[in-house]
Amino acid sequence: MNKFIKRLLTISIVLLVFSALAWPKVKPLLSTPAEEVGNSADRQNRLHVEGVVMEPEVLEDKIFTSGTILANEVVDLRSEMAGKVVDIQLEEGRSVREGQLLLKINDNELQAQRRRAQFQLNLAEQRAERQRRLLERGGVSQEDYDATVNEVNVLIAELDLIDARIEKSEIRAPFDGLVGLKFVSSGSFISSDTHIATLNDIDPVKIDFSIPERYFTRIQVGDRINFNVQGHDSTFTGEVYAIEPRIDTQTRTIQIRALSDNPDRMLIPGAFANIELILETVYDALMLPAISVIPELNRQKVFKYENGKVTQVDILTGLRTDRSVQVVDGIAPGDTVLTTGLLQAREGMEVELTNIRKSTDR
């Protein structure tokens, strides 16, 4: 019994010593003011929300479509007359200048006809000059002189006709361009149906595409397009220069044509193009995540974060993208708009903002 009492006393003494050493550390925790405890509990009970700070950004209203690359100018080279090819100066895949001789057809017969007509014209002009002198002295009638002058004019017209035929024996480049594959050789007999080669002007190139009729009032000459083609990682730009003034009744679309510079000849006629047509550009747009907009009858609203509390604001929206909505009225740059807790938030409610980002961050 005495041993039990001694052991109990020992344990009691150890507990007293331990309590004396631990009290200074435990006391502050037990003596926390009731006000601080209340504030901490209040913060924990507040609704935790996230938000975005509105910042202006560039907004482009776009539509996406597809189209085809076309040469600025293209022509199938053919002869206006039949004959044997005596000279070919075009080279496949090479550039040519406007007016450059590409192909010559045998014109020996025409040249002989021209020389004969020229001799006849020279003789007729000499006869007309002699009769003019005689007419001044009364040695010939006015009728004879007029007949000789008319003969001169007929021979001049005949020379012009022969020159026109000789000109048809030469095929010249109608514009600066790039020659394609040729299909004739020197010595070949060709006619007006013979395809000689194709000449393309591919700087700039045209881009043909169509858009739905509902955009007719929004498209205009000068609108910009971005497009890309297979085989190139680059994005090319162009500008609308022509709009078909009618709607295709079969497809309910409008035909559009744009121009794009092609100095490096990277764009080839016939290529398929994925096109991004920019209808409108807003340089100071406020874009709000679509999830933040709360639709109601005849209005739309958002919740703003101001001084720790929720404020309800009616807004007017504009353009839309797949994830964002443009706010044109009701929100100003620098405002913080809630993106979470929208179902629980109420006007004047105190909330805890746990995460915030800029509206321009994507």
Q: What is the DSSP string of 120-178?
A: HHHHHHHHHHHHHHHHHHTSS-HHHHHHHHHHHHHHHHHHHHHHHHHHHTEEE-SSSEE
- Domain membership of residue 18 (yes or no) is no
Check residue 4 and give its pLDDT.
Answer: 53
Shared domain for 93 and 177, answered yes or no, is: yes
Chain segment 177-217, per-residue pLDDT in tens: 999 999 999 999 999 899 999 999 999 999 999 999 999 98
The parent domain of residue 90 ranges over 80-106+169-195
- Domain membership of residue 305 (yes or no) is yes
- Domain membership of residue 4 (yes or no) is no
Residues in the chain: 362
Shared domain for 267 and 213, answered yes or no, is: yes
Tell me phi and psi for residue 75, to 5 degrees. -145, 140
Measured CA to CA, the distance from residue 177 to residue 239 in angstroms comes to: 22
More confident of the two residues 187 and 3:
187
What total number of domains does the chain contain? 4
Shared domain for 84 and 191, answered yes or no, is: yes
Measured CA to CA, the distance from residue 281 to residue 134 in angstroms comes to: 83
Measured CA to CA, the distance from residue 106 to residue 99 in angstroms comes to: 19
Residue 231: pLDDT over 90: no
Domain's final residue, options 221, 254, 282: 282
Question: Pairing mode, if any, of strands 189-190 and 236-243?
Answer: unpaired
- Domain membership of residue 191 (yes or no) is yes
Residue 7: pLDDT over 90: no
- Domain membership of residue 277 (yes or no) is yes
- Domain membership of residue 28 (yes or no) is no
Residue 344: pLDDT over 60: yes
What rounded mean pLDDT belongs to the chain?
A: 87
Q: Mention every residue, 6+ apart, whose C-beta is less than 8 A from residue 169.
A: 81, 83, 104, 105, 106, 107, 110
Shared domain for 191 and 95, answered yes or no, is: yes
Measured CA to CA, the distance from residue 292 to residue 53 in angstroms comes to: 12
Residue 12: pLDDT over 80: no
Which of 41-45, 269-273, 283-287, 293-297 shows the lowest per-residue confidence on average (mean pLDDT)?
41-45
Shared domain for 236 and 157, answered yes or no, is: no
CATH of the domain at 157: 1.10.287
Domain's final residue, options 225, 257, 282: 282
Shared domain for 260 and 155, answered yes or no, is: no
Token pair listed for 51: 């938000």
Q: What burial letters (b/e) apply to 310-327, b meaning 16+ CB within 10 Å?
A: bbebebebbbeeeebbbb
Based on its alpha-carbon atoms, the radius of gyration of the chain, rounded to whole angstroms, reads: 45
Check residue 1 and give its pLDDT.
Answer: 47
Token pair listed for 29: 């925790």
Please choose, from the candidates 292, 284, 285, 290, the residue with its C-alpha nearest in 3D space to the C-alpha of residue 337: 292
Chain segment 17-62, per-residue pLDDT in tens: 555 555 554 444 444 454 444 455 455 578 899 999 999 998 888 8
Check residue 35 and give its pLDDT.
Answer: 47
Shared domain for 142 and 161, answered yes or no, is: yes
Shared domain for 92 and 188, answered yes or no, is: yes
- Domain membership of residue 226 (yes or no) is yes
Tell me phi and psi for residue 100, to 5 degrees. -70, 135
Shared domain for 258 and 353, answered yes or no, is: no
Shared domain for 217 and 278, answered yes or no, is: yes
- Domain membership of residue 38 (yes or no) is no
Residue pair 109/125 in contact by the 8 Å Cβ criterion: no
Shared domain for 125 and 157, answered yes or no, is: yes
Tell me phi and psi for residue 318, to 5 degrees. -125, -115
Using DSSP's 3-state secondary structure scheme, residue 307 falls into coil
Element (H, E) at 36: helix 34-45
Measured CA to CA, the distance from residue 85 to residue 104 in angstroms comes to: 6
Shared domain for 151 and 126, answered yes or no, is: yes
CATH of the domain at 177: 2.40.50.100
CATH of the domain at 266: 2.40.30.170
Domain's final residue, options 282, 317, 332: 282
Chain segment 62-75, per-residue pLDDT in tens: 899 999 999 999 99
Measured CA to CA, the distance from residue 290 to residue 275 in angstroms comes to: 26
Check residue 36 and give its pLDDT.
Answer: 47
